[in-house]
Chain A
Amino acid sequence: MTIRDNDILNLYRDCFPDVAHMVHRGGGTAEDAKDVFHDAFLVFLERRNAGILSIYASPKAYIIGTAKIVFLHKNRRIDNSALPAEVAEYVQEETGEDEKSILSYLQLAGQKCLQLLRSFYFDNLAMPELASRFGFSGPRSATVQKFKCLEKIRKQINKTETYAK
Chain B
Amino acid sequence: MRNELNETEWIDKYLLNELHSEDKKQFETELLIDSSEKQKLIHRIVRLFNRSYHRDRLEKIYASLMQQADFKKNIDSIFV
Listed in ascending order, the chain A residues whose CB lies under 8 Å from chain B are 5, 8-9, 12-13, 16-17, 20-21, 24, 29-30, 33-34, 38, 41-42, 45-46, 93-94, 96, 98-100, 102-103, 106-107, 114, 117-118, 121-122, 143-144, 147, 150, 153-154, 157, 163
B69 close to chain A: CB less than 8 A: no
Which one of B5, B44, B47, B53 contacts A143 once the chains associate, using CB atoms below 8 Å?
Answer: B5
Q: Which of B42, B55, B75 contacts A30 (CB 8 A)?
A: B75
Contact count band on B: 20 to 34
Judge whether B50 is part of the interface by a CB distance below 8 angstroms: yes
User: B46 touching A42 by the CB < 8 A rule?
Assistant: no
| Chain A residues positioned under 8 Å from B50 (CB to CB) | 46, 118, 121-122
B55 and chain A: residue at smallest CB distance: A38
Which residues on A sit within 8 Å (CB–CB) of B62?
A: 12, 16, 34, 38
Residues of B near any A CB (own CB < 8 A): 1, 4-5, 8, 38-39, 41-55, 57-59, 61-62, 64-65, 71, 74-76, 78-79
Interface residues of chain B: helix, strand, loop or mixed (majority): helix
Contact A21 B54 (CB under 8 A): no
Q: Which residues of A sit under 8 angstroms from B52, Cβ to Cβ? A: 103
Chain A nearest Cβ from B69, distance in angstroms: 14
